């Protein structure tokens, strides 16, 4: 019979866990603090440890690390009271088997314990535990990934694991689902965090420019190349190269990229010297690569090289439970940026946001909140300050469409003109900032300014 060690400073919790677990046929032993718990790990050799995170004396992460000094393969499950992503990532990084967020139900506990025991049985497939002393880095604080839905939690765990192994990762998800944010987290959460992160958007460059961008070129290799240039692979060193919109690279570049991945070296365009490639590749796409492979547009061999590990980001409409937390997160983030103090959410606002279908996903939600904050006159995020994407609203019927604000405008062009003008004014006609907020390129913004004859007042 398997033995489970329960470490929790609160007696009620220990009793509750003991009852649930003994009903499942496990033997339980208990400790009221980390020190005593570690003694029991030594003397009793439990099969699993369930430990509270916040306790007087040692906290759960310290227990984890001490327990692993005694037995590196002992599954430790952390019980945590917060939906704290940084802690989650960190606990998985330092080798926790899993975590359970309080309050959890009997089924969750059962499944987690069951999985942990299974994993011991199949322990041959477990990675060696790598000790890592990352203290919560600023990058983690800046790039908070919000999400409590099961799919997002699974992604957090995977980020923790991947960040410690330099495998190539393919991130798939619709536009605005957070692919770049995930790439940054993988880079900054683990072993690559002190090395460069280099981002290349594969869709914005022509074939030859992209190649010289990736691999660099030597002077005179093509018209206009007046000096040697280092490519992104070289600049990434032993860090990360993030290839965004990977589906857009040409067949030729695909062949070259495949070669780099296979041989771990490359040459500059027009150059002869061989340069080693040590970077981890994270690729992202919002197109279905398997479909493109069937159409003969994307190489299957390259696909498999890139997707050593895959992260699939669900669209926002499939994780509506996260909308509230995302709104709160964006209010915090954007209040700070714009020196505003919108700290309340008005009646019906969450319902309204949850019934929208968010074609533009989290980015669209962020922009919606941003516009509302910029427009706000008090400390409330209310329905009237929110402009949902009108085109989508018009496609919808019924109650939601009824709520669409700005009905007084006639055409989409009117709305667009008004909106662009408003953002430009808010940004004091700083076009870089305005195009960022509007999520369009500078040339597009300029074209719109001309089209609508907008002038700075
Ligand atoms: N889960 C999340 N928690 C908090 N912020 C998020 C989350 N997902 C996305 N964001 C924010 O939403 C915005 C869009 O995310 P990001 O740029 O990573 O999306 P993307 O998938 O790369 O989009 P695209 O396909 O258009 O390039 C960013 O400001 C990002 O910080
Ligand atoms: Mg992106």
pLDDT digits (tens, 9 = 90+) for 386-440: 888 754 444 444 333 333 333 344 566 777 887 888 888 878 888 888 888 888 8
Predicted pLDDT at 410: 52
Residues of the chain above pLDDT 90, percent: 46
Predicted pLDDT at 407: 37
Do 49 and 173 share a domain, yes or no? no
Question: Is the full-model pTM beyond 0.85?
Answer: no
Do 9 and 97 share a domain, yes or no? yes
Do 439 and 358 share a domain, yes or no? no
Do 245 and 348 share a domain, yes or no? no
Most trustworthy range by pLDDT among 119-133, 366-380, 381-395, 401-415: 366-380
Distance 308 CA to ligand 2 centre (A): 20
Do 165 and 114 share a domain, yes or no? no
Give me the number of domains the chain comprises. 4
Predicted pLDDT at 175: 92
Predicted pLDDT at 442: 87
Evaluate whether residue 118 is within a structural domain: yes
Do 85 and 145 share a domain, yes or no? no
pLDDT digits (tens, 9 = 90+) for 324-346: 889 988 888 888 877 778 888 88
Q: Mean per-residue pLDDT for 370-385?
A: 81
Evaluate whether residue 131 is within a structural domain: no
Pocket test for ligand 1, best of 89, 181, 245, 329 (most atoms within 8 A of CB): 181
Predicted pLDDT at 99: 84
Q: Which atom of ligand 1 is nearest to the CA of 360?
A: 26
Distance 363 CA to ligand 1 centre (A): 6
Where residue 15 sits, what CATH number does that domain have?
A: 3.40.50.2300
Q: Which of these three, 313, 340, 375, is where a domain ends?
A: 313
Do 60 and 178 share a domain, yes or no? no
- Residue 98 reports pLDDT greater than 90: no
Where residue 377 sits, what CATH number does that domain have?
A: 1.10.8.60
- Residue 134 reports pLDDT greater than 50: no
Q: Mean per-residue pLDDT for 271-293?
A: 94
3-state secondary structure the chain: CCEEEEECCCHHHHHHHHHHHHHCCCEEEEECCHHHHHHHHHHHCCCEEEEECCCCCCCHHHHHHHHHHHCCCCCEEEEECCCCHHHHHHHHHCCCCEEEECCCCHHHHHHHHHHHHHHHHCHHHCCCCCCCCCCCCHHHHHCCCCCCCHHHHHHHHHHHHHCCCCCCEEEEECCCCCHHHHHHHHHHHCCCCCCCEEEEECCCCCHHHHHHHHHEECCCCCCCCCCCEECHHHHHCCCEEEEECHHHCCHHHHHHHHHHHHHCEEECECCCCEEECCCEEEEEECCCHHHHHHCCCCCHHHHHHHCCEEEEECCHHHCHHHHHHHHHHHHHHHHHHHCCCCCEECCCHHHHHHCCCCCCHHHHHHHHHHHHHHHCCCCEECHHHCCCCHHHHHHCCCHHHHHCCCCCCCCHHHHHHHHHHHHHHHCCCCHHHHHHHHCCCHHHHHHHHHHCCCCCC
Q: Give the confidence band of 82 by pLDDT, cuts at 50, 70, 90.
A: low
Q: Give the confidence band of 92 by pLDDT, cuts at 50, 70, 90.
A: confident
Return the higher-pLDDT residue of 206 and 306. 306
Do 228 and 372 share a domain, yes or no? no
Q: Mean per-residue pLDDT for 352-368?
A: 93
Evaluate whether residue 132 is within a structural domain: no
Predicted pLDDT at 84: 66
Q: Mean per-residue pLDDT for 75-80?
A: 90
Q: Which of these three, 313, 333, 352, is where a domain ends?
A: 313
- Residue 187 reports pLDDT greater than 80: yes
- Residue 20 reports pLDDT greater than 50: yes
Pocket test for ligand 1, best of 89, 172, 176 (most atoms within 8 A of CB): 176
Pocket test for ligand 1, best of 363, 366, 368, 370 (most atoms within 8 A of CB): 363
Evaluate whether residue 194 is within a structural domain: yes
Do 420 and 377 share a domain, yes or no? no
Q: Which of these three, 96, 125, 154, is where a domain ends?
A: 125
Where residue 269 sits, what CATH number does that domain have?
A: 3.40.50.300
Least confidently predicted of 65-69, 110-114, 391-395: 391-395
Do 351 and 385 share a domain, yes or no? yes
- Residue 229 reports pLDDT greater than 80: yes
Do 216 and 249 share a domain, yes or no? yes
Evaluate whether residue 336 is within a structural domain: yes
Domain holding 56, by residue range, is 3-125
- Residue 358 reports pLDDT greater than 90: yes
Predicted pLDDT at 39: 97
Residue 175 near ligand 1, beta carbon < 6 Å? yes
- CA of 319, nearest ligand number: 1
Evaluate whether residue 292 is within a structural domain: yes
- Residue 100 reports pLDDT greater than 50: yes
In the predicted model, what is the mean pLDDT of the chain? 84
- CA of 171, nearest ligand number: 1
Do 186 and 264 share a domain, yes or no? yes
Evaluate whether residue 211 is within a structural domain: yes
Predicted pLDDT at 399: 38
Evaluate whether residue 272 is within a structural domain: yes
Where residue 415 sits, what CATH number does that domain have?
A: 1.10.10.60
């Amino acid at each position: 019979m398997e033995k489970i060690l329960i470490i929790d400073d609160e007696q009620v919790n220990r009793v509750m866990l003991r009852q649930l677990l003994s009903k499942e046929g496990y033997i339980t032993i208990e400790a009221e603090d980390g020190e005593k718990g570690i003694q029991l790990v030594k003397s009793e050799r439990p099969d699993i440890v369930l430990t509270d995170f916040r306790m007087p004396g040692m906290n759960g992460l310290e227990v984890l690390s001490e327990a692993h000094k005694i037995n590196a393969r002992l599954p430790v499950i952390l019980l945590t009271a917060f939906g704290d992503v940084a802690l989650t990532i960190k606990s998985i990084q330092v080798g926790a088997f899993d975590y359970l967020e309080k309050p959890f139900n009997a089924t969750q506990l059962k499944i987690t314990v069951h999985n942990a025991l299974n994993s011991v049985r199949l322990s041959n497939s477990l990675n060696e535990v790598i000790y890592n002393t990352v203290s919560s880095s600023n990058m983690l604080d800046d790039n908070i990934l919000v999400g409590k839905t099961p799919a997002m939690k699974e992604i957090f765990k995977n980020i923790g694991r991947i960040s410690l192994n330099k495998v190539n990762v393919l991130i798939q998800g619709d536009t605005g689902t957070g692919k770049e944010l995930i790439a940054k987290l993988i880079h900054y959460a683990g072993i690559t965090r002190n090395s460069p992160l280099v981002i290349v958007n594969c869709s914005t460059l022509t074939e030859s420019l992209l190649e010289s961008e990736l691999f660099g070129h030597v002077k005179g290799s093509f018209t206009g190349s007046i000096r040697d240039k280092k490519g992104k692979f070289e600049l990434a060193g032993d860090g990360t190269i993030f290839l965004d919109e990977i589906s857009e690279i040409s067949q030729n570049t695909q062949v070259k990229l495949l070669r780099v991945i296979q041989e771990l070296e490359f040459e500059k365009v027009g150059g002869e010297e061989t340069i080693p490639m040590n970077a981890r590749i994270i690729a992202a796409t919002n197109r279905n690569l398997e479909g493109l492979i069937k159409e003969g547009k994307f190489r299957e061999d390259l696909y498999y090289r890139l997707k050593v590990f895959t992260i699939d980001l669900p669209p926002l409409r499939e994780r509506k439970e996260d909308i509230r937390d995302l709104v709160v997160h964006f209010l915090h983030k954007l209040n700070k940026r714009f020196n505003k103090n919108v700290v309340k959410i008005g009646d019906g606002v969450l319902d309204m946001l949850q019934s929208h279908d968010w074609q533009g996903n989290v980015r669209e939600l962020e922009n919606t909140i941003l516009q509302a904050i910029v427009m706000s006159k008090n400390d409330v995020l209310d329905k009237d300050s929110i402009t949902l994407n009108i085109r989508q609203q018009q496609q919808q019927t019924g109650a939601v469409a009824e709520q669409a604000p700005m009905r007084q405008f006639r055409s989409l062009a009117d709305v667009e003109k008004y909106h662009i003008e408003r953002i430009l004014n808010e940004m004091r006609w700083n076009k870089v900032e305005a195009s960022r907020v509007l999520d369009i390129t500078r040339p597009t913004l300029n074209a719109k300014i001309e089209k609508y004859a907008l002038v700075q007042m």
